[in-house]
Each structure stands twice: as structure tokens, then as C-alpha cells.
Structure 1
Amino acid sequence: MVRRLIQLYVGLGLYGLSTAMFIRSDLGVDPWDVFHLGVALQLGVSIGTVIIVTGALVLLLWIPLRQLPGLGTISNVICIGLAADASMALIPDIASLPIRIALLVSGIVVNAIATGMYIGAGFGAGPRDGLMTGMHARFGWSIRVVRTAIEVSVLLIGCLLGGTFGVGTVLYALTIGPLIQLCLPWFRHKPRARALAEPERIV
């Protein structure tokens, strides 16, 4: 349990760090952060504040979908925003294009590792992922259709509000799925009974 909790909160912290890395690269952010940035610009508040408030509002949409949040869900709402603001304070604006490109690519890798860590800890889906799975379960729509519709919607709204869309947004969309698929098995929680039943591997 302790290991899983550490994995959960380290993963959420790294996710917030990756958000700051995307923003400081100034080459485009993931679709949800295009939305978060657009709202932050319009309201004059920090990106972390918008992430927290948006997560809480999305969580309210779980009620008609009959979804139940877990510890990981509530922690996701709070911790990612706090970590994003803390990381923004630590990472300065960068002028050098090669460094910005390196920051973007590193941010995508960190984001994939972070996602694998907090999902693999097994304490419940984040509010945005739970919205997707809840709509799938409630209405029978395919995950692909629901995920695409949500991502495109927040991306378009974010762009209209002034969020940063760029090559990084496209690169994230193309690479994050395969990277998460690669990282998730590293961190997926294995029940103790199953772990004891499996033979020890000798390397």
C-alpha cells in the first residue's frame, strides 16, 4: 500500500512537471492544456488553478454518469495543478530553440511515465479519464469516439480562448498513446497473491 501511494503521488507530481515543461517549451501543449491555458489567459489566474477547478467541475459530471471517484481521482484534481504551478515557478522562460525542443520531447516522455505511474497505482481514474469511461458505460459509445470528441472539443475551445496550439500538440497526440502503452506495464500494481503465485524470473 505504501509503495502504491508513493507511486501515485510521484506520478501526479511528474504529470504537473510535464505540464510546465510543455508550456515553457512554447511549442504547443496537449489538448486539455490548450484549454487550461486559454482559460488561464482569459481569467488572469495560474494554470494550476484552472487545472484544479476544471478537474473539480469535470468530476461533477460523474454524478449523472454514476461514476464513483477513488483516492487517485481526488488526488488527481488537487495535486497536478499544485505541481504544475510549482514547476512553472522553477522552470524559467527559455529562448533557445534547441533547448525548447528538448524540453518538449522530455515533457512528453515524463508525461507518459507519470500517467503509467498514477494509473498503475490502482487508486482510480483521473476526472477526465473517468468522464470518458463513464460516457462509454452509460451510453454505449465507443471509447475512441468519446475520447476523440472530448479532446477535439477542449482543443477548439482552448484555441478560441488563446491557448497555445503548435507542433508540440500534434507530436503529443501522435506519440502519447504508444508511450503510455510502453510505460504502463512497468508500474501496474500486481495483487500480492498473484505475485506470489508467479515463478521468480532469473535474469
Structure 2
Amino acid sequence: MQSPVASFRIPAPVGRRSVQLLVGLVLYAASMGLLVHSGLGNMPWDVLTQGISRHTGASFGTITVAISVLVLLCWIPLRQRPGVGTVANVLVIGVLVDPFLAALDQLPDPLPMAARVALAVSGIVLNALATGLYVGAQLGPGPRDGLMTGLVGRTGWPVAPVRTSIEVVVVAAGWALGGTVGFATLAYALLVGPLVHVFLPRLTVRSRQSEPVALVAAT
């Protein structure tokens, strides 16, 4: 007779989605580190994170977690519900981004411009791949994605202006606090959407009950 332990199996789709989510979040943290270390401009929310970090002395990862929690509080009036992926997004990225930055600090300083550009380009492509992985797992949006989709749902406004408005406010506030805005910030804004469109359809885990991923339109 087979034991209960031996007969227990994690359903394949759930197992794949969990692994895909974790891999995506690890790569997302790595992509953040690459862009920050390039010094050529950060992702919009990371501009704000870096600005606050420079004023408070708290680590980049600590501020990332703090901002994520504050954004999640904004979900309450928007009636957004977090998933396991939402919680994992906050914890995994917040915990790993500081070690990735510390590892990149071991590179020669200063880096040649060609190397800095390579870091920025690698960060943008890796971020798009990471987004396709964690969004495609369909285990819950990240805090910032949920804020955007929640506002779209409550206001009925198109996705593009809502996302753009949020990111303009965030970048402006971060730049005023000393966060780095530059070539990579603009390149990220222009390229990450099309790149996610390439990765996401190929990485989305389908099931009989699954609906098309809403963030395909958002990107």
C-alpha cells in the first residue's frame, strides 16, 4: 500500500508556476542591480527608491520593500486583492536586490562607458524577461502593477496614460531627491513594453480557467 507521503504530488501547473515566479523575481532583482550600477539611469520606481535611500541612509532593498508596502496600502480603496505572487514580489526582490548590488560593487571602479552601457542594456532585456516570467506565472501582480490596473479599473481611463502618469510622478519625485535619471531610464521606458510583448505570450502558463493576462495590454 502506497504511503500518503509517497502519493502526494504537487500539480504540475502549480509547480511550474511557482518555480517560474521565483526565477522571474530573482532575475527582476538582478536587472534592477544592473541598471542601478550602470549609473546611466534607473527604472522609474527605482529612481524614487534611490532618491529616498540617499536621503535616509537606508539600503536600496529596505526602501524597495517600504515603497512596496505603501503601494499595497493604496490597493485597499481600489479593492485590489493580492496573490501569493504579490507577496513574493515584495519579499524576494526586496531581499535580493542589496546582495546583487553588493556583488556588482566588486567590479572595477570606474567602469568604462562601454561596460556601463552593456550593464544597462542587459538590465533592460533581463527585466523584460523577468517580467514575462513572473507575470506569466499568473500568481498575482506586483504591487506597482496592481496599483496601475486598480486605477484603470476604478477610473475607466486607458492603461497607457494611467501608467505614464504614475511613472512621470514617480520619476520626478525621485529625481528631485537625487535619484539617477538618464539614458537608461528613457531606453527602459521605450523598450521594455515591446520586449515584454515578445516574452510574455511564450511564458504565460495556460490553464482551462485562465484568462488572457491583463498586463499584456498594460505593457
| Displacement of 1:22 | 0.4
1:15-71 superposed Cα distances (whole Å, 9 cap, x missing partner): 000000001111111111101100111111111111111001100000011110000
Equivalent residue number for residue 117 of structure 2: 101
Q: What SS class does the counterpart of residue 61 from structure 1 fall into?
A: helix
Alignment of 1:168-179 (within 5 A): 168-179=184-195
Q: Which sections of structure 2, spanning at least 5 residues, go unmatched?
A: 1-13, 211-219
1:184 to 200, 206, 212: 200
Equivalent residue number for residue 60 of structure 1: 73
Equivalent residue number for residue 16 of structure 1: 29
CA distance, structure 1, for counterparts of residue 137 and residue 180 of structure 2: 31
TM-score by length of 2: 0.86
| Displacement of 1:193 | 8.6
Q: Which sections of structure 1, spanning at least 5 residues, go unmatched?
A: 195-203
Whether 1:87 and 2:100 are equivalent positions in the alignment is: yes
Q: What SS class does the counterpart of residue 28 from structure 1 fall into?
A: coil
* Paired residue type of 1:73: T
CA distance, structure 1, for counterparts of residue 172 and residue 160 of structure 2: 18
User: In percent, how many aligned pairs have the same letter?
Assistant: 48
Q: How many pairs does the alignment contain?
A: 194
Distance 1:193-1:139 versus aligned 2 partners, 3 A rule: closer
| Displacement of 1:75 | 0.8
CA distance, structure 2, for counterparts of residue 106 and residue 64 of structure 1: 37
Equivalent residue number for residue 151 of structure 1: 167
Equivalent residue number for residue 134 of structure 1: 150
Equivalent residue number for residue 201 of structure 1: none
1:136-161 superposed Cα distances (whole Å, 9 cap, x missing partner): 11121221121111000000000000
1:94-138 superposed Cα distances (whole Å, 9 cap, x missing partner): 421111111110110100000000000010111101011111111
CA distance, structure 2, for counterparts of residue 79 and residue 193 of structure 1: 27
CA distance, structure 1, for counterparts of residue 143 and residue 83 of structure 2: 10
* Paired residue type of 1:191: S
Equivalent residue number for residue 199 of structure 1: none
